[in-house]
């Protein structure tokens, strides 16, 4: 092995020395070059969003070199024959130019659109990962809030970008945006007149959306993404429970060289997949739809996927409208627009933002958490999350109810009626099912810990009975399962005189106590003790001697034998 | 019994221990651990087997070579494949995209093989410390803060403090005030909603005649006698405003020809001409053009959110989220037999807004028909 580096090469030490003498970064690098990053597939989801954002910045910059954010009417004179001579905005004409007359323009435009979809999708699954593993808990609440803000801004960024090409489809989206904005009580007409520079559609909105889309929102996004990264770096990443992993350490691979290389490869994968999608999968073929006119719309107009839930909400809403003051010129509340536009988004975003604080209020848990929960081990949180996904999913599906009706030959009206029921029933049902599944999975963990795992070896006992021999689980898997921790609970027990503890007495306090009791506590203890017939054979080999009899008292509801090993 | 006890031990060796979850790094799919501990230099850093690493190096090098070739292919494609027609653009897109995708993905695969097969397996441990600062540090910071606050005089000198706040308050308003001219019409904000009540159908043409209905796209005026097959439908725009998007956003019409007996009480009969009825095409929900029409049922359907209106009965809502019927435009014919507008809509067309009020009830109170 002669090719081993024994001293730093000049090419590195020279600049490094130059920088260190001026910036003094040595101490920082000493601490951080070998910073440990824990490994788990789910930790990669956020990186998809991060790298898509980088791709968006790069491809977006390319597009600005040709795009003209102007609504000035011109006659099209590009190479797309079917639209030759058609009057259209400069924005649309330049989008066509990028698509047909700039080499690589179509590729980059399609990459930009695909990256936008992947950006939002990556953020969503990343947020779900953080939610379901409780990684938003102290000390990470601030980073969670930054994340919620990022998601909201990404939707606004998507909306403004979608409108820029000024084709018929993007115009339909813009018209709906206007219809929603103008419905706002008191300020609706003012907001639309300020946004559009007068009556809809006016001649300003494209250039205004352009500056929002390429400067203001991405600037804020970039700042928040950086803050998100810095906080993650400073607070160190959470880790899944496992052997040797505690709340006071991080186990994993060092930043330099392994994590760095992996992250680089992962960026390239994201970029490569986006490029592949842009090559082989057509997206938003703006030339098909023609220029925007408020007089036309194409059937089957669909927004980008992340706006689908708002679209679905608008579609299933019953036709409610209130005129507070009758015929006088004020007081119209178009509830069939206001409710779907504001309520689902409000529930989801506000719910996300408040959840860490509500959970802390209910559990009274003020400790730092660096070990991620397995979703099954906090069943109510997981059920709330699944319920929210179902709520979102029903709205999202209903956003395409015309496609569903057409492809599955269902009456369109039936899909809407079904949606009006499902939006309430499905989340409740999802809650119950998810809760039961969590408990079932906890029982299966319990079975593994207290009875071992199936060995595949069948044994015949002297009296003729056949049993399957169970062996204790592998050490690291057992450590993974034993990472479970009971969900904390407030001290809710009443004292001898039946008086609840301070802070749990008013109506709000009683609610808090009841929620804490339901939310917290150990539902299925890991060890269910012995005494289940032939399962004792497994216990013979059980490495851990503790547990057993002391835990008998705790068996309670979970004590009936439902272990999955039978 | 000793035999028996021996048997109990047996499964331990015969059965793979790992039963759930992902195999740990380094475990091959067949269950035998491959990581060699022999060359371990530091705890938690397990070097790879050299023969395996040498094999992996060849794979990585192959990947990087593909990247090289594909990147060159991209540059060549850029020069060779010109754009300028949909077909040529398609070819260029395919060549550029494929070479870019291949170049990037094989680079990524190469690096992954490098990390997984050549770099060591790591299981390093680092301590975490609580985020909170030490008590004495917090004490020093607090002391410093109080000292500085007192030194600055901000607490003691009330006049200074209050005038600073007074001065800063209007400064904060300036960015908002500056946005006032976002609206180009320069009219008072309270007048905005008045604009929404009128469309160009209420205005006469330059030579003082009532405005003709013309076909969207062609701009042809419509002779009533020619629009005579029942069930026929036209998308109609106002003469002189065929390309004015602001006018079209409120004034576009859907024109339908009925048999006289098909019309129900919801239609204002003297606003029609010979079974021809004109409704606003702008949906009363959020303003999409209600562009779909079903001849048999006389249903107008908005494709955006599926509000459905009964065209034979005053376009009243029969399904979907729209709360109000599509306003009907009073039409008639001029001396040459062309369809013209009698006047403006009686109620504001398009989506609802705060200042709209119950315009339908207001119109009825005024005596209904124009």
CATH number of the domain encompassing residue A273? 1.20.810.10
CB B301 within 8 A of CB B308: yes
Integer CA distances (angstroms), A2 to A5, A6, B46, B61, B204, in order: 9, 10, 21, 20, 94
Asked whether residue A448 falls in the same domain as residue A547, the answer is: yes
- Give the strand order in the sheet containing B308-310: B292-294, B299-301, B308-310, B316-319
The alpha-carbon gap from B106 to the nearest alpha carbon of chain A, in Å, equals 9
Helix and strand numbers (H, E) in chain B are 8, 14
Closest CA in chain A for residue B302: A299
Which among B101, B182, B235 has the least Cβ separation from residue A275? B101
Residue A506 inside a domain? The answer is yes
Asked whether residue A123 falls in the same domain as residue A272, the answer is: yes
Residue with tokens 């609440």: A141
Asked whether residue A105 falls in the same domain as residue A238, the answer is: yes
Element (H, E) at A174: helix A168-182
Backbone φ, ψ for residue B276 (5° rounding) = -95, 125
A562 CB neighbour count, 10 Å cutoff: 15
For residues B145 and B258, give the distance between their C-alpha atoms in angstroms, rounded to a whole number.
82
Q: Is cis: bond before A466, omega within 30 of 0?
A: no
Residue A564 inside a domain? The answer is no
> What was the pLDDT predicted at B24?
52
With bands split at pLDDT 50, 70 and 90, how would you rate the model's confidence at A299? confident
Interface contact flag, A103 B307, Cβ < 8 Å: no
Element (H, E) at A73: strand A73-75
Interface contact flag, B85 A298, Cβ < 8 Å: no
With bands split at pLDDT 50, 70 and 90, how would you rate the model's confidence at B2? very low
∠ CA B82-B83-B87, nearest 5°, is 110
Q: Both tokens of residue A111?
A: 């990459």
Which among B21, B307, B354 has the least Cβ separation from residue A189? B354
Per-residue pLDDT, averaged over A486-490, amounts to 91
The domain tally of chain A equals 2
With bands split at pLDDT 50, 70 and 90, how would you rate the model's confidence at A156? very high
Beta bridge partners, B221, equal B214
CB A40 within 8 A of CB A239: yes
Asked whether residue A436 falls in the same domain as residue A348, the answer is: no
What average pLDDT does the structure give for chain B?
A: 88
Residue A86 inside a domain? The answer is yes
For residues A369 and A140, give the distance between their C-alpha atoms in angstroms, rounded to a whole number.
9
Most confident of A9-13, A138-142, B172-176: A138-142
User: Which is nearest to B329 in space by CA: B275, B287, B268, B243?
Assistant: B268
CB A136 within 8 A of CB A378: no
Interface contact flag, B101 A272, Cβ < 8 Å: yes
> What was the pLDDT predicted at B8?
40
The alpha-carbon gap from A510 to the nearest alpha carbon of chain B, in Å, equals 32
Per-residue pLDDT, averaged over A333-357, amounts to 96
Domain boundary among A328, A355, A373: A373
> What was the pLDDT predicted at B7?
38
Per-residue pLDDT, averaged over A341-357, amounts to 96
* Stretch 1-30 of chain B: residues touching chain A, C-beta under 8 Å: 7-8, 10-12, 14-15, 17-22, 24-25
For residues A115 and A138, give the distance between their C-alpha atoms in angstroms, rounded to a whole number.
32
For residues A470 and A467, give the distance between their C-alpha atoms in angstroms, rounded to a whole number.
9
Q: Both tokens of residue A57?
A: 């910045």
DSSP assignment, residue A547? S
Element (H, E) at A194: helix A188-196
For residues A165 and A68, give the distance between their C-alpha atoms in angstroms, rounded to a whole number.
10
**How many CB pairs below 8 A link A and B?**
340
Asked whether residue A263 falls in the same domain as residue A124, the answer is: yes
Residue A332 inside a domain? The answer is yes
Asked whether residue A337 falls in the same domain as residue A485, the answer is: no
> What was the pLDDT predicted at A321?
94
> What was the pLDDT predicted at B20?
54
Asked whether residue A165 falls in the same domain as residue A281, the answer is: yes
Asked whether residue A252 falls in the same domain as residue A355, the answer is: yes
Q: Is the ipTM of this complex over 0.90?
A: no
Per-residue pLDDT, averaged over B247-254, amounts to 95
> What was the pLDDT predicted at A492?
79
Beta bridge partners, A521, equal A487
With bands split at pLDDT 50, 70 and 90, how would you rate the model's confidence at B368? low
The alpha-carbon gap from B180 to the nearest alpha carbon of chain A, in Å, equals 8
Q: pLDDT digits over A517-557, tens only? A: 999 988 899 887 554 444 444 433 444 444 333 333 333 33
| Residue from A79, A89, A199 to probe the interface with B (highest B Cβ count within 10 Å) | A199
B200-365: CATH topology is Rieske Iron-sulfur Protein (2.102.10)
Residue A135 inside a domain? The answer is yes
For residues B190 and B195, give the distance between their C-alpha atoms in angstroms, rounded to a whole number.
10
Residue A150 inside a domain? The answer is yes
Q: Both tokens of residue A271?
A: 């970029």
Element (H, E) at A58: helix A45-64
Bigger pLDDT: A417 or B36?
A417
Range of the domain at A248: 38-373
Q: pLDDT digits over A40-78, tens only? A: 999 999 999 999 999 999 999 999 999 999 999 999 999
Asked whether residue A451 falls in the same domain as residue A316, the answer is: no
Asked whether residue A330 falls in the same domain as residue A457, the answer is: no
For residues A348 and A74, give the distance between their C-alpha atoms in angstroms, rounded to a whole number.
43
Backbone φ, ψ for residue A521 (5° rounding) = 90, 170
With bands split at pLDDT 50, 70 and 90, how would you rate the model's confidence at A300? confident
Q: pLDDT digits over B130-179, tens only? A: 999 999 999 999 999 999 999 999 999 999 999 999 999 999 899 999 99
Q: pLDDT digits over B307-342, tens only? A: 999 999 999 999 999 999 999 999 999 999 999 999
Asked whether residue A309 falls in the same domain as residue A198, the answer is: yes
Domain boundary among A373, A388, A407: A373
> What was the pLDDT predicted at B185?
84
Residue A500 inside a domain? The answer is yes
pLDDT of B6 above 70? no
The alpha-carbon gap from B144 to the nearest alpha carbon of chain A, in Å, equals 25
> What was the pLDDT predicted at B21?
53
With bands split at pLDDT 50, 70 and 90, how would you rate the model's confidence at B12? very low
> What was the pLDDT predicted at A551?
37
CB neighbour class for A311 (10 Å; exposed up to 12, middle 13-18, buried from 19):
buried
What average pLDDT does the structure give for chain A?
A: 90
With bands split at pLDDT 50, 70 and 90, how would you rate the model's confidence at A2? low
Annotated domain spans of chain B: 23-122, 138-179, 200-365
Residue with tokens 């019994």: B1
User: Which is nearest to B117 in space by CA: B54, B195, B66, B70?
Assistant: B54
Per-residue pLDDT, averaged over A18-23, amounts to 92
């Amino acid at each position: 092995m002669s090719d081993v580096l024994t001293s730093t090469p000049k090419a590195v030490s020279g600049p490094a020395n130059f920088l260190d003498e001026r910036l003094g970064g040595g101490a920082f690098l000493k601490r951080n070059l070998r910073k440990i990053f824990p490994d788990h597939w789910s930790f990669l989801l956020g990186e998809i969003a991060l790298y898509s954002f980088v791709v968006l910045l790069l491809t977006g910059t390319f597009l600005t070199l040709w795009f003209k954010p102007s609504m000035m009417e011109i006659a099209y004179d590009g190479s797309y024959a079917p639209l030759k001579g058609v009057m259209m905005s400069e924005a649309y004409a330049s989008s066509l130019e990028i698509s047909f007359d700039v080499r690589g323009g179509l590729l980059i435009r399609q990459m930009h659109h695909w990256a936008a979809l992947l950006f939002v999708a990556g953020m969503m699954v990343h947020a779900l990962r953080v939610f379901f593993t409780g990684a938003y808990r102290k000390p990470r609440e601030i980073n969670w809030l930054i994340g919620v803000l990022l998601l909201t801004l990404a939707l606004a960024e998507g909306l403004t970008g979608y409108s820029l090409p000024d084709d018929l489809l993007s115009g339909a989206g813009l018209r709906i945006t206007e219809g929603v904005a103008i419905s706002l009580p008191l300020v609706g007409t003012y907001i639309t007149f300020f946004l559009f520079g007068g009556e809809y559609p006016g001649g300003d909105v494209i250039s205004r959306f352009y500056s929002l889309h390429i400067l203001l929102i991405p600037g804020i996004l970039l700042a928040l993404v950086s803050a998100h990264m810095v906080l993650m770096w400073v607070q160190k990443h959470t880790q899944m429970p496992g052997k040797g992993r505690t709340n006071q350490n991080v186990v994993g691979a060092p930043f330099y060289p392994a994590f760095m290389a992996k992250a680089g490869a992962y960026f390239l994968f994201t970029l490569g997949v986006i490029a592949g999608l842009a090559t082989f999968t057509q997206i938003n073929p703006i030339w098909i739809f023609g220029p925007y006119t408020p007089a036309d719309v194409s059937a089957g107009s669909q927004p980008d996927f992340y706006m689908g839930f708002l679209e679905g909400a608008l579609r299933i809403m019953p036709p409610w409208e209130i005129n507070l003051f009758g015929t006088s010129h004020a007081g119209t509340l178009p509830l069939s627009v206001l409710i779907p536009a504001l309520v689902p988004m409000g529930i989801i975003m506000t719910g996300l933002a408040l959840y860490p604080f509500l959970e802390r209020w209910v559990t009274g848990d003020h400790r730092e958490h660096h070990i991620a929960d397995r979703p099954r081990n906090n069943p109510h949180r997981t059920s709330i999350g699944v319920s929210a996904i179902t709520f979102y999913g029903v709205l999202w599906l209903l956003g395409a109810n015309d496609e569903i009706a057409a492809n599955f030959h269902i009456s369109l009206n039936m899909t809407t009626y079904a949606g009006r029921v499902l939006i309430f029933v499905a989340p409740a049902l999802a809650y119950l099912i998810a809760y039961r599944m969590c408990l079932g999975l906890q029982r299966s963990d319990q079975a593994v810990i207290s009875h071992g795992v199936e060995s595949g070896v069948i044994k015949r006992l002297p009296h003729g009975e056949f049993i399957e021999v169970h062996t204790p689980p592998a050490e690291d898997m057992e450590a993974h399962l034993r990472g479970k921790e009971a969900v904390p609970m407030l001290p809710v027990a009443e004292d001898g005189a039946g008086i609840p503890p301070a802070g749990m007495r008013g109506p709000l306090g009683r609610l808090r106590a009841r929620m804490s009791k339901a939310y917290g506590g150990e539902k299925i203890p890991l060890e269910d003790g012995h005494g289940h017939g032939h399962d004792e054979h497994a216990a013979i080999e059980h490495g851990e001697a503790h547990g057993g009899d002391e835990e008998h008292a705790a068996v309670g509801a979970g004590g009936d034998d439902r272990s999955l090993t039978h | 019994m000793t035999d028996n006890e021996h048997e109990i031990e047996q499964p331990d060796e015969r059965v793979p221990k790992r039963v759930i979850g992902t195999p740990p790094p380094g475990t091959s799919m067949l269950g035998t651990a491959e990581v060699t501990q022999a060359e371990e230099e530091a705890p938690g850093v397990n070097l790879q087997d050299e023969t395996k690493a040498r094999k992996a190096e060849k794979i990585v090098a192959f990947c990087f070579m593909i990247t090289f070739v594909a990147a060159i292919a991209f540059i060549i494609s850029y020069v060779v494949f010109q754009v300028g027609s949909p077909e040529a653009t398609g070819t260029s897109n395919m060549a550029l995209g494929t070479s870019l995708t291949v170049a990037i993905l094989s680079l990524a695969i190469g690096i992954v093989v490098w990390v997984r097969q050549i770099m060591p397996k790591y299981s390093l441990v680092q301590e975490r410390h609580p985020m909170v600062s030490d008590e004495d540090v917090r004490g020093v910071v607090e002391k410093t803060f109080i000292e500085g606050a007192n030194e600055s005089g901000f607490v003691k000198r009330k006049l200074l403090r209050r005038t600073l706040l007074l001065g800063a308050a209007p400064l904060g308003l300036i960015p908002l005030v500056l946005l006032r001219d976002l609206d180009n019409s320069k009219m008072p904000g309270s007048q905005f909603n008045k604009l929404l009540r009128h469309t160009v159908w209420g205005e006469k043409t330059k030579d003082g005649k009532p405005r003709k209905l013309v076909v969207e796209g062609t701009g042809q005026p419509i002779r009533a006698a020619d629009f005579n097959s029942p069930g026929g439908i036209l998308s109609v725009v106002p003469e002189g405003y065929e390309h004015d998007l602001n006018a079209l956003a409120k004034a576009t019409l859907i024109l339908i020809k009925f048999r006289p007996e098909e019309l129900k009480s919801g239609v204002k009969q003297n606003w029609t001409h010979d079974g021809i009825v004109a409704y606003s095409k702008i949906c009363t929900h959020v303003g999409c053009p209600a562009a779909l029409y079903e001849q048999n049922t006389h249903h107008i359907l908005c494709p955006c959110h599926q509000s459905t209106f009964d065209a034979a009965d005053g376009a009243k809502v029969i399904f979907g989220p729209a709360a109000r019927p599509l306003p009907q435009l009073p039409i008639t014919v001029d001396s040459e037999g062309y369809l013209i507008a009698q006047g403006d809509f009686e109620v504001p067309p398009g989506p609802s807004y705060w200042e709209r009020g119950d315009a339908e009830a207001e119109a009825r109170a005024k005596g209904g028909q124009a």
